Amino acid sequence: MPYQTTIGDQVYRFADLKTLLAKASPARSGDYLAGLAAATYEERMAAKLALAEVPLKQFLNEVLIPYESDEVTRLIIDRHDPLAFAPISHLSVGDFRDWLLLDSTDSDQLRAVSPGITPEMAAAVSKLMRNQDLILVGKKCRVVSAFRNTIGLPDRLSVRLQPNHPTDDVRGIAASMLDGLLYGSGDATVGINPASDSLPTLMRLWQMMDEVRQHFEIPMQSCVLTHVTTQIQAIEAGAPIDLIFQSIAGSEKTNTSFGVSLAVLREAFDAGRSLARGTVGDNFMYFETGQGSALSAGGHHGVDQQTCEARAYAVAREFKPLLVNTVVGFIGPEYLYDGKQIIRAGLEDHFCAKLLGVPMGCDVCYTNHAEADQDDMDTLLTLLGAAGINFIMGIPGADDIMLNYQSTSFHDALYLRTVLGLKRAPEFEAWLARMAITDTAGRLREIGRGHLLLQQLPHVSGAA
């Protein structure tokens, strides 16, 4: 179905909804690389004007990737909840934006309509929003998840402690864990990106983290971010696995390039559920996403990268995850060229995910060949904190020595909590106080050489 709008004496025509969404997207290098972006600022504005008039119902009638050939499209359409959609079904995309921004549209209403919103609707309305709009609505979208602690409560910020090591050395990983715990990080998860895919090596990592957790009675969850099929094998071998991890994307073809399908994810979900290791909740899936992955895999089907990203959140919400995060600047400048594009993408991803009911965090990051620096990351970190992000990363010195990219540090989380008055997950917060790591206000105490963690963790972890 063609769409058009007129500016002055110039008529702008867009062949279909897919084209309209791409042309309305804020400028980013990935869409230029794919040949999808608007040629001029005027064409982009014309697309936004035309998009604002599109009824939300149209997204149920005109799919971007064919239903017959893409299981993610089938998931989106088959899981759509018409009763949840009813209160907003009469709106256009522009009207939807206005409704989201109303003071009277609160968290409860957003939660109620969430099952009726498709990823394409979320992506479309985000394209009409300024950054402050994305922050305001993102703040209202509260998505709470729980396993051994509770993540996403109002005025809370959690941190994934990421103790990566280029050779999976247990001593190096344990040292980073100790560093992070003493800075009050780790309530989202202690999650290791392993250098190896050797099952014996991975088993040692799971066992070490679980021994530390049990010895110190830490209300946390651990994860080794290896391929989901390896995690299924590890569960069969008796590994003490808390969270099931997988990178996902917004099309069947891209997920196939990752070596997964919805069926494989359901198998992993069933395996993880059989362990029943949660204490305060039963959310145990952990997904990572990122704009540009579909284009990189040749699985974008002519859909702009931000809309492809939003479609990944439909996959995520199918499995009621504990954690989802966009690794926003990791893929590189071919897809998000500079700090401005990375900042915008991070805000879009958080907004779309939360609108769809996904417990969203962000790896606020960039690669060293992007036109970005740590000041850009400070800006995005602060904006996401204001928007109510569920969690961020905590990496020693903000420099991942295994994955070779720049992210956020334990100190960055302290900064954000101080400036915005954010607390940790309540169960983890209580543990930190019991361990004399923080005071009753959540501030870090001075840690002496005789502290229990310093004395015992190296021996418990096998890193002495």
CATH number, domain with residue 371? 3.20.20.70
Instruction: Note whether residue 288 is domain-resident.
Output: yes
pLDDT at 464: 67
Domain boundary among 80, 112, 140: 140
Are both 191 and 90 inside the same structural domain? Answer: no
User: What's the rounded mean pLDDT across residues 198-225?
Assistant: 97
The string of pLDDT tens digits covering residues 118-137 is 999 999 999 999 999 999 99
Instruction: Note whether residue 445 is domain-resident.
Output: no
Domain boundary among 77, 106, 140: 140
Q: How confident is the model at residue 459 (pLDDT cuts 50, 70, 90)?
A: confident
Instruction: Note whether residue 114 is domain-resident.
Output: yes
Are both 158 and 282 inside the same structural domain? Answer: yes
Are both 64 and 195 inside the same structural domain? Answer: no
Instruction: Note whether residue 331 is domain-resident.
Output: yes
- The overall pTM is greater than 0.75: yes
User: What's the rounded mean pLDDT across residues 241-254?
Assistant: 98
Comparing C-alpha atoms, which of 323, 329, 330, 401 is closest to residue 358? Answer: 323
61 is in an annotated binding site: no
Structure tokens at 73: 């499209």
User: CA–CA separation, 192 vs 209, rounded Å?
Assistant: 10
Q: In sequence order, what are the beta bridge partners of 323?
A: 286
378 is in an annotated binding site: no
User: CA–CA separation, 142 vs 161, rounded Å?
Assistant: 23
Are both 409 and 280 inside the same structural domain? Answer: yes
pLDDT at 462: 77
pLDDT at 461: 80
For residues 56 and 91, the answer to whether their CB atoms sit within 8 Å is yes
Instruction: Note whether residue 326 is domain-resident.
Output: yes
Are both 116 and 181 inside the same structural domain? Answer: no
Comparing C-alpha atoms, which of 355, 359, 354, 361 is closest to residue 380? Answer: 361
402 is in an annotated binding site: yes
pLDDT at 308: 98
Integer CA distances (angstroms), 213 to 185, 191, 389, in order: 14, 13, 25
pLDDT at 281: 98
179 is in an annotated binding site: no
pLDDT at 458: 87
pLDDT of residue 312 exceeding 80, the answer is: yes
Are both 120 and 151 inside the same structural domain? Answer: no
User: What's the rounded mean pLDDT across residues 142-154?
Assistant: 98
pLDDT of residue 463 exceeding 90, the answer is: no
User: CA–CA separation, 435 vs 456, rounded Å?
Assistant: 13
193 is in an annotated binding site: yes
305 is in an annotated binding site: no
Domain boundary among 73, 108, 140: 140
196 is in an annotated binding site: no
The string of pLDDT tens digits covering residues 65-109 is 999 999 999 999 999 999 999 999 999 999 999 999 999 999 999
Instruction: Note whether residue 440 is domain-resident.
Output: no
pLDDT at 425: 98
Are both 176 and 103 inside the same structural domain? Answer: no
* Percent of the chain with pLDDT strictly greater than 70: 100
The string of pLDDT tens digits covering residues 2-11 is 999 999 999 9
Are both 247 and 149 inside the same structural domain? Answer: yes
The string of pLDDT tens digits covering residues 381-414 is 999 999 999 999 999 999 998 888 999 999 999 9
Instruction: Note whether residue 460 is domain-resident.
Output: no
Structure tokens at 272: 């993880």
Domain with 110, as residue range(s), is: 4-140
Comparing C-alpha atoms, which of 422, 351, 378, 369 is closest to residue 132? Answer: 351
* Percent of the chain with pLDDT strictly greater than 90: 95
Are both 175 and 71 inside the same structural domain? Answer: no
Average pLDDT, the chain: 96
The string of pLDDT tens digits covering residues 168-199 is 999 999 999 999 999 999 999 999 999 999 99
Q: How confident is the model at residue 300 (pLDDT cuts 50, 70, 90)?
A: very high
pLDDT of residue 344 exceeding 70, the answer is: yes
199 is in an annotated binding site: no
The count of domains in the chain is 2
Q: Which amino acid is at 84?
A: A
The domain that holds 43 is classified in CATH as 1.10.220.70
User: What's the rounded mean pLDDT across residues 360-369?
Assistant: 94
Are both 104 and 164 inside the same structural domain? Answer: no
Are both 51 and 153 inside the same structural domain? Answer: no
409 is in an annotated binding site: no
Strands 145-146 and 150-151: antiparallel
Q: Is 364 buried (19+), middle (13-18) or exposed (0-12) by CB count in 10 A?
A: buried
pLDDT of residue 368 exceeding 80, the answer is: yes
Structure tokens at 227: 């391929």
Q: 3-state class of 158 per DSSP?
A: strand
434 is in an annotated binding site: no
For residues 271 and 310, the answer to whether their CB atoms sit within 8 Å is no
Instruction: Note whether residue 284 is domain-resident.
Output: yes
pLDDT at 193: 97
Comparing C-alpha atoms, which of 144, 142, 120 is closest to residue 54? Answer: 120
Are both 322 and 417 inside the same structural domain? Answer: yes
User: CA–CA separation, 311 vs 314, rounded Å?
Assistant: 5
Q: Is 33 buried (19+), middle (13-18) or exposed (0-12) by CB count in 10 A?
A: middle
User: CA–CA separation, 202 vs 227, rounded Å?
Assistant: 11
For residues 127 and 349, the answer to whether their CB atoms sit within 8 Å is no
